[in-house]
Amino acid sequence: MKVKVGINGVGRIGRSFLRAVLAAKAPVEIVAMNDLASIEQIAHLLKYDTVLGPNPHEIRIEGNVLHIGHMSVRTSQQRDITQLPWGEVGADVIVESTGIFTDAAKAAGHLQSGARKVLIAAPATGEDITIVYGVNHQKYDGNKHHIISNASCTTNCLAPMVKVLHDGIGIESGWITTIHAFTQDQNLQDGFHKDLRRARAAANNIVPTKTGAAKAIGLIVPELSGKLDGYSVRVPIITGSLVDFVVVLTRPATAQDVNDLFKAAAQGELKNVLRYTEDEIVSSDIVTNPASCIFDAGLTKFIGASSLKVMGWYDNEWGFSNRLIDVVQLL
């Protein structure tokens, strides 16, 4: 039986999620979506995409319904989410991808509109649980978890790396630097922004900025709360990012030990979430890779016996969208 889903916010992640559902042939049916953009604008951006290329599925408009592939999706342009037609169209789970309703108290408006669950496609505040699929999704309790955060794309890449290292060896502390593609939160040209570094032209600068990905690990792996931190460095590419994770381990190990752990996890309990490669790849090689993390074994390095650096690639849009599919089916 297919899960019926509504999307609020048809931006980069909303559209990527929709296309990922079609590509994965997942048992998910998108029945409605809401965005202030017109149906004509939405149709155009679903048909043509700079990263994903032309959409292989036929797209046509019929009134306020967008037909795409096998799905007929009702569209609306409603600012007040308590007035959305989720109950009327039978939308069971709402993917909240506007970036606006990340506070659970605000996102609860979707429940008032008839939805059963809300999945916030971003870090959230006040949520019932933050889920990183493959790492802590077993903790989901349908009786008490109704507003769920899917964390960030970076946390989804980092958390499997943390799990493999902490379960297999033990982590004392760690620092991450995510070398991250620029996003819509940045400016195309220099302009006003509350973060003065993000105020600068995204396509012409390397931009150091904040990330909450490392601290968010405490929500996923509670025993590591307060033991990880990090920065983001935004770079002038449109998608494809890399987590550089420096770790102090609780006991000595070797690069071979570490790589063996990741290879086993990628073939076992984290299959499809974590991938393992020994190829000398670059960022464009992982665009449209559906995994949360592509572990790059050739970059594993030690200083001494317990100070470790590991690196994992991720498509910050497509990988994250595929985890949204996994969590939607879980709910």
Measured CA to CA, the distance from residue 180 to residue 30 in angstroms comes to: 29
- The residues, any chain, with a CB within 8 Å of residue 307's CB and separated by 6 or more, are 246, 247, 248, 249
Find, among 15, 10, 24, the residue nearest to 52 by Cα: 15
DSSP state of 2: P
Relative to beta strand 307-314, strand 293-296 is antiparallel
Amino acid symbol at 72: S
Q: What Rg value do the Cα atoms of the chain yield, rounded? A: 20
Cα(87)–Cα(179) distance, integer angstroms: 41
Which amino acid type is present at position 199?
A
57 within 8 A of 71, measured Cβ to Cβ: no
Which residues belong to the active site? 153
The residue assigned the tokens 């985890």 is 323
Query: How far apart are the C-alpha atoms of 226 and 27, rounded to whole Å?
Result: 38
Span between the terminal Cα atoms of the chain, in Å: 13
DSSP letters for 23-62: HHT-SEEEEEEE-SS-HHHHHHHHH--TTT-S-SS-EEEE
d(C-alpha 252, C-alpha 163), whole Å = 17
